[in-house]
């Protein structure tokens, strides 16, 4: 007579979790994660897996592309000039008549480069 195997049935190979992801957290972050997992009635692994796979991911960081590099460099020069004007004003100089217009143009250019349409 064959002995019947008891216990949990084996998972299909595609359902077994064999990969591991490790990341570091501060003590406070660990305690917050553990508390949230306990409140959800889940293990820390199940909780982190569920949150990371179902929540909205952080927005990707923007990188400087080669198209904007010259514009960014030029804006840096403008910023230096504005700093020099500010220094001049702090030492009692007069305000150039077109300063406000120039500042608005710089703000508009920065917003356009930064993708201010978001």
| Residue ranges in 1-118 assigned as alpha helix (H) | 27-40, 44-54, 69-90, 99-113
Asked if pLDDT for residue 1 goes beyond 70, the answer is: no
44 neighbors 51 (Cβ within 8 angstroms): no
Per-residue pLDDT tens digits for 38-84: 999 999 999 999 998 987 776 776 666 666 777 777 878 888 888 88
| pLDDT classification of 27: cutoffs 50, 70, 90 | very high
pLDDT mean over 8-26: 86
12 neighbors 22 (Cβ within 8 angstroms): no
109 neighbors 75 (Cβ within 8 angstroms): yes
pTM recorded for the entire structure: 0.43
Q: Considering the chain, what is the average pLDDT of its residues?
A: 82
Asked if pLDDT for residue 116 goes beyond 60, the answer is: no
- Measured CA to CA, the distance from residue 56 to residue 62 in angstroms comes to 18
């Amino acid at each position: 007579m064959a002995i019947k195997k008891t216990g949990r049935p084996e998972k299909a190979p595609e359902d077994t979790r064999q990969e591991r992801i490790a990341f570091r957290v501060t003590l406070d972050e660990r305690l917050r994660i553990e508390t949230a997992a306990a409140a959800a009635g889940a293990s820390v692994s199940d909780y982190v897996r569920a949150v990371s796979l179902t929540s909205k991911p952080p927005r990707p960081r923007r990188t400087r592309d080669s198209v904007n590099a010259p514009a960014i460099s030029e804006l840096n020069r403008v910023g230096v000039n504005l700093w020099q004007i500010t220094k001049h004003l702090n030492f009692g100089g007069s305000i150039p008549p077109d300063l406000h217009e120039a500042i608005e143009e710089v703000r508009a250019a920065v917003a356009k480069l930064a993708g201010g349409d978001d």
